[in-house]
Amino acid sequence: MPVLVTATPDGRPRAYVRRVDGETLTVETDEAGELVAGGSRWSRIGGWALDGPHEGARLPVAPGRGPLYWAAWLAFNPDSTVYGLDS
């Protein structure tokens, strides 16, 4: 499952499935730290496309239970890409 793990401005973790209308998105951050994928900027809080071709679409919340523990994720997914929230 292609998952995007991010955090809200107040540091709360969020996990979304990176698929919209059958398309798997590649997510990057722009120079302002905004999430960008498929020509749209995306909200970290609700997974909504804020503009661009996907405006109004929403990334599905990734299924799971309990809090996300980075060390456990990394142990099972060592090739994960991390985009800094504070850099």
Domain total of the chain: 1
Asked if residue 29 lies in contact with residue 35, where contact means CB atoms within 8 angstroms, the answer is yes
Q: Which residues pair with 4 in a beta bridge?
A: 16
Distance from C-alpha of 87 to C-alpha of 85, rounded to nearest angstrom? 6
Query: Residue 40: inside a domain, yes or no?
Result: yes
Residue 37 has pLDDT above 90, yes or no: yes
Query: Residue 81: inside a domain, yes or no?
Result: no
pTM: 0.71
Query: Residue 52: inside a domain, yes or no?
Result: yes
Residue 5 CB burial class (10 angstroms; 0-12, 13-18, ≥19): middle
Mean pLDDT of the 26-31 span: 93
Give the residue with greater pLDDT, 73 vs 84.
73
Give the residue with greater pLDDT, 80 vs 2.
2
At 28, list the tokens: 């990057």
Over residues 52-68, the pLDDT tens digits come to 999 999 999 988 755 55
Domain that includes residue 58, residue range: 3-76
At residue 87, the pLDDT reads 41
Closest CA to 26 of 6, 2, 9, 45: 2
